[in-house]
Structure 1
């Protein structure tokens, strides 16, 4: 519900304004990026919509201009620009590099249609007579006033058309994508479904006024509440994929770094010659990750003469019974063979009865050690029961040979 203080509009507007400020440096660095520019314009327009639709702002604008209800065409204009910006952004967002010209063409048509509606809204207001200030119920109060009535209906028709268009475009695209982009599109769809409910409530209240009934509460209370929440959902839908990409860009290397730590600790003694350049707290995560991977490969190379192909084959047979995929089973077998080799390396002795059975080149045995993903799987598998069993087996063999 719209509050007299307007906080339910000012607070979301302030949040969107902060996001717009955060995006401005990127826009200044890439001024020709159409997608980035469209997102930034959308954020600015969203901020203006929230701030200008609050009751205190409407009253202040009316006083400033000295024209009763002068804020009405301003609010309708901003909402129309918001809808047009959304459609344009979705067109550009969903178009690949090969569709740039088509996206530009449809975006221009969208801007032209938006401009025509905005001009018509303002002209109709100038032709009409809205001399009594109405801060919250202008739609129903002037529902029968010539020209003002047409202005209201034109705005609602354009708003409904934009909502239907966006819902169709986003639903169609959401079926083709996954991940954070799909979540963002579903948020946008949710926002525009609320917009359609908003339009339905407005039309119902106006129709009730024409029928001589007073259903203004549908427009003043319920529709206003839907408007603020829907705009916030739509803005979140556009922002979420961008913020998610930035977060994943930050989170992914850290996650991989910590996933590799068990494997690094397993091989730490075997890679004591490491320079340790990634040990400083100020060292960027990219350098830390490179250093950890280098230490792991050095450790594997050190213990590789003790990697037993037969141990790996036995571990693979055991892992196949409990692992969910062939890749997981292979990583578990590699981790078991490696843990076994580390235990043997610590005692500087071999396990294989026939030295020719022992593999000096680990690349021939450890299939998971060739890729970053494989190293992560091996690191995770070190805590499995299969690996623990073969590590204990190595300890038993070492103690019996002393």
Structure 2
């Protein structure tokens, strides 16, 4: 792999981190958000410092031959710990238990990092190796143990992550399950990376040469695995947000029939608030619901309870369940009230503090069902036509 093969993933991860930083500044105490930012930071650092040009530059700047080797190993170990901590916080649970398990993983991998530094300090690596440090020094005292130690720590983290994500994915559904399966796929690449690295190192211990596995096969596997795993962490958050927005816009659109019905005769009393085109979907739904309730308030004097009961009975007779029949009856009463209000030249606007006869003791109406009934129910259409004829005769 060339330097660009390392720097492109690092830039992509850094961009993802940049999008997360504003939320981190405003919600620093969120352990899940902190874990995500730590993972993205360490992943970007691993790709940056593992690139051969960076390895050479760091060795030159520090004046220590092969100083980049323990630096990259420590970053990989810290990244492994950050994945485990993120998974612990993502799964949730009692806060104290979550903090305790997170601290254990952090402490354990901190010990590993300290051991890597000590082993490198005790060993001797006089020849600079930019791409094949693992196999070149596999038989060197202390350095060989350092290499085996970091590979073992990385392998343990990969196995634990695969086990946790797989078991969790069997108990959840939706985008979370998709994300967990993506993470498992990414860590399968990491396990393959471990296998190729360990095979090359063990081959050196046994006097054989499988250096190409470590030098040319393992790095692409690590890059692909890291990107896939990072995608798995992001997908549930992004896709769930998009799904929620889509559902909110669907609610806004479905309320349109009811909103237009009540606005026909109430705009002169309460002109609707114009929302900016960039207004959030949640705000638009809230405003539309508010407009509908204001319309109910102004239509209150024209609501006919007997008409409501008759429409309910007709809907039940046609096979509707109680909830649907109730929505049909409410929609029929609203449609008739709109016709009556439009035909009343002396109809006055009702003040905001007055009660609406639509607010019955049995709780709020299902606005979405009422809106659907206004557009699709034959009972409502029949009531609307009859009310229009009656209003025409009165006019």
Q: TM-score range by the shorter chain?
A: 0.7 to 0.9
Give the Cα–Cα distance (whole angstroms) in 2 for the partners of residues 205 and 256 of structure 1: 58
Q: Is the 8 A contact 1:14 1:47 kept in 2?
A: yes
Q: Please name the residue that 1:276 is paired with.
A: 271
Structure 2 residue 381 is matched with structure 1 residue 391:
yes
Q: Is the 8 A contact 1:260 1:375 kept in 2?
A: yes
Q: Please name the residue that 1:290 is paired with.
A: 286
Alpha carbons of structure 1 residues 347 and 89: separation in structure 2 relative to 1, 3 Å: closer
Q: How does 1:8-157 map to 2 (within 5 A)?
A: 8-96=5-93, 99-157=94-152
Give the Cα–Cα distance (whole angstroms) in 1 for the partners of residues 204 and 125 of structure 2: 17
Structure 1 stretches lacking a partner, 5+ long: 350-359
Give the Cα–Cα distance (whole angstroms) in 2 for the partners of residues 293 and 227 of structure 1: 51
Give the Cα–Cα distance (whole angstroms) in 1 for the partners of residues 383 and 86 of structure 2: 62
How many residue pairs match? The answer is 376
**Post-superposition CA distance 1:189-220 (Å, at most 9, x none):** 33222211221222223334445554434333
Q: Please name the residue that 1:356 is paired with.
A: none
Give the Cα–Cα distance (whole angstroms) in 2 for the partners of residues 54 and 388 of structure 1: 69
Structure 2 residue 163 is matched with structure 1 residue 168:
yes
Alpha carbons of structure 1 residues 394 and 111: separation in structure 2 relative to 1, 3 Å: closer
Structure 2 stretches lacking a partner, 5+ long: 345-355
**What TM-score, normalized to structure 1?**
0.78
**What TM-score, normalized to structure 2?**
0.79
Give the Cα–Cα distance (whole angstroms) in 2 for the partners of residues 317 and 216 of structure 1: 81
Q: Quote the RMSD (CA, aligned, Å).
A: 3.6
Give the Cα–Cα distance (whole angstroms) in 1 for the partners of residues 167 and 288 of structure 2: 44
Alpha carbons of structure 1 residues 218 and 335: separation in structure 2 relative to 1, 3 Å: farther
Alpha carbons of structure 1 residues 398 and 259: separation in structure 2 relative to 1, 3 Å: closer
Runs of 4+ in 1 over 6 A off after TM superposition: none
**Post-superposition CA distance 1:378-402 (Å, at most 9, x none):** 3345444xx2575267537856996
